[in-house]
Structure 1
Amino acid sequence: MTFATSPARRSILIVEDEAMIAMMLEEFLETLGHQVRGVAATLTEARDRVRDGGFDLAILDCHLDGEEVWPIAEMLDRADIPFILSSGGAMDEVPAPFAGRPMLAKPYTIGTISDILAASGEK
């Protein structure tokens, strides 16, 4: 099966605490023609990456090693950087300001990633 690469290449920050999932997501994104600008596995790493910038979209795992990712979502929102939420569990506890954000359910497939990137609009 082949997937069309996006006409606009995006630079993407991955915030994911499970190394194998982060590596798979990075491979899918690169296959789709995007560039991964960094991977953060903790809230501290994610804060540093967001402060450093250099990306135009983030994919955020909602739960990082027992901590919720909402402070990072707030930073991205203030910086006007779009983001996609990700979770392997139920997401009925998304804070109201982020409830309308695109949601990527685990386990990922390259097709679902392609679709959510297309639906989130080209920037």
Structure 2
Amino acid sequence: MISATNPLAGCRVLLVEDEYFIADDLRRQFEESGAEVLGPVPRVEEALELIAATPQIDAAVLDVNLQDEMVYPVADALRARGVPFIFSTGYEKTTIPERYAGVKHCEKPLEAAQVAKALFA
């Protein structure tokens, strides 16, 4: 599934992002890299429903703040399933709770190659 030259090829990537243009741009970049995009979804509740309904998720990109709701319940659900994820945000890393200290953090704007490196490096 994951290749050294194109780690996103063949991956099912959950995209949780509430900014339409960012979500659409990432979706397009991921698909051009050979990934299957789940979503994008703009709300915590929708993301949790998608996680529950999807048996295979290889990785996820989570915007920290979704319409004034923090994404941490989604992060917890992914962590419980062993799915690697990154946080994408404009916030400083210090604003993310300590329990996520080991989770990689990418600042917006994101690019598919940056995300792949963060997820699979």
1:18 to 1:7, Cα distance in 2 relative to 1, 3 A: closer
Corresponding residue for residue 73 of structure 2 = 71
Which of 45, 64, 79 aligns to 1:62? It is 64
1:57 to 1:110, Cα distance in 2 relative to 1, 3 A: closer
1:89 to 1:55, Cα distance in 2 relative to 1, 3 A: same
Q: Which runs of 5+ in 2 are unaligned?
A: none
Q: Which runs of 5+ in 1 are unaligned?
A: none
Taking structure 2 as the reference length, the TM-score comes to 0.85
Which of 92, 97, 101 aligns to 1:99? It is 101
Tell me the CA shift for residue 41 of structure 1: 0.3
State the AA in 1 paired with 2:93: M
| Residue-by-residue CA offset, 1:37-88 (whole Å, 9 max, x unaligned) | 2221011111111111232211100000111111111111112111111102
Secondary structure of 1:48's counterpart equals helix
- Whether 1:38 aligns to 2:15 is no
RMSD: 1.8
Quote the sequence identity (%): 32
Corresponding residue for residue 50 of structure 2 = 49
CA distance in 2, matches of 1:84, 1:48: 19
Corresponding residue for residue 84 of structure 1 = 86
Taking structure 1 as the reference length, the TM-score comes to 0.83
Q: How many residues align?
A: 116
State the AA in 2 paired with 1:96: E
